[in-house]
Amino acid sequence: MTTINLKDFYPWYTHDEYIEVSEEVAEELHTSRRREAAHAERVRYNKAFYSLDCDDGIEYSACLHEPTPQELLERVELFVQLWNALNSLPEIQGRRVDAHLILGKSFRRIAREESVSKSAVRDSIYCGLESMKKYLRKNF
């Protein structure tokens, strides 16, 4: 039998409390303490301390939740509405809105690809967005 101090292993003990335990239990308590110390050292060495307010996306991923079936259904309905609004535009205007908003192309790049002026592309996209807004207000 080995005598251990419970204050060394349990933080809620505020004073020394000695008890006798078997060799196996004492060895397991010491092994557990060594594992915790090794883990704390690995965290310190690898600088694996994360703050949820440092705006690097960790807070978002930690707070991310699985969408409910209702939320998924609402997303699908919204997607269908936007898709219908985009399809209501003339072909060239729809292609330009799609290239700019969905594919992320700049006005200049779209103008270069279509051999038109940048202002024509910009005006076409803004007019297309306004037409989509009107379509959505009217139909939904």
pLDDT digits (tens, 9 = 90+) for 65-80: 778 899 999 999 999 9
**pLDDT digit string (tens) for 80-99?**
999 999 999 999 999 999 99
Half-sphere exposure of 91 (CA within 13 A, CB side): 0
Look at 85 and 55; give whichever has higher pLDDT: 85
Tell me the CATH number of domain 69-139, given options 3.30.70.3000, 3.40.640.10, 1.10.10.10, 1.20.1090.10. 1.10.10.10
Tokens of 12: 């809620």
- Tens of pLDDT, residue by residue over 99-132, are 999 999 999 999 999 999 999 999 999 999 999 9
Give the pTM: 0.53
Residue 133 has a CB neighbour count (10 Å cut-off) of: 11
Instruction: Inform me whether the pLDDT recorded for 21 exceeds 90.
Output: yes
Per-residue confidence (pLDDT) for residue 61, from 0 to 100: 67
Domain boundary assignment for the chain: 1-64, 69-139
